[in-house]
């Protein structure tokens, strides 16, 4: 069932209450969920799904997932996080995740943005052209 406008507005309002200086506050999320448990809205599942989607998207905006084929040094990961923080003008944390399918290089995802400099990405681009 598609979400109704009042449910979307409630989820947006609850999401805004969960933010402190543009970042999701775990304490506020806990308080919002406790409030929803005490005072369930008309369509609780719809509101919770929309609220969860908004919180997850906000968390992804402040986190970089760095996929790599080989070993990656903690200093390089820190330098990437610092460079991305300057680029986006907000604090970005970075975590490394091994992905041997990349062959070599990196794939970095920050929110909806994807930066790829890997051999697998270049091979896929060549295959698409041919």
Whether 70 and 116 map to the same domain: the answer is yes
Q: Is 99 helix (H, G, I), strand (E, B) or coil?
A: coil
Whether 42 and 86 map to the same domain: the answer is no
- Global pTM value: 0.76
Contacts of 128 (CB under 8 A, 6+ apart): none
- pLDDT average, residue stretch 24-39: 95
Whether 70 and 22 map to the same domain: the answer is no
Whether 99 and 71 map to the same domain: the answer is yes
Strand 23-24 versus strand 19-20 pairing type: antiparallel
For residue 25, pLDDT beyond 90: yes
Q: For residue 102, how many other CB atoms are within 10 A of its CB?
A: 19
Per-residue pLDDT of 40-64, as tens digits, reads: 998 999 999 999 999 999 999 999 9
What's the gap between Cα 118 and its chain centre? 21
- pLDDT average, residue stretch 88-94: 94
Q: Would you mind telling me the total number of residues written for the chain in this entry? A: 130
Residue 120 pLDDT grade (very low, low, confident, very high; cuts 50, 70, 90): confident
Using only C-alpha atoms, the chain has a radius of gyration, in whole angstroms, of 19
Using the 3D structure, point to which of 20, 35, 60 is the last residue of a domain. 60
What pLDDT score does 66 carry?
Answer: 95
Using the 3D structure, point to which of 16, 33, 60 is the last residue of a domain. 60
Average pLDDT across the chain, whole number: 91
**Which range marks the domain in which residue 124 is found?**
64-129
């Amino acid at each position: 069932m598609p979400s109704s406008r009042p449910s979307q507005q409630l989820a947006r309002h609850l999401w805004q209450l969960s933010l402190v200086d543009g970042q999701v506050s775990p304490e506020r999320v806990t308080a919002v969920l406790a409030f929803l448990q005490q005072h369930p809205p008309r369509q609780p599942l719809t509101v919770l799904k929309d609220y969860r989607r908004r919180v997850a998207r906000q968390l992804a905006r402040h986190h970089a997932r760095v996929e790599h084929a080989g070993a990656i040094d903690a200093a390089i990961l820190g330098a990437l996080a610092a460079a991305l923080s300057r680029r986006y003008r907000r604090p970005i944390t970075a975590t490394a995740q091994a992905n041997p399918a990349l062959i070599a290089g990196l794939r970095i995802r920050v929110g909806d943005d994807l930066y790829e400099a890997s051999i697998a990405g270049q091979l896929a681009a060549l295959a698409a052209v041919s």
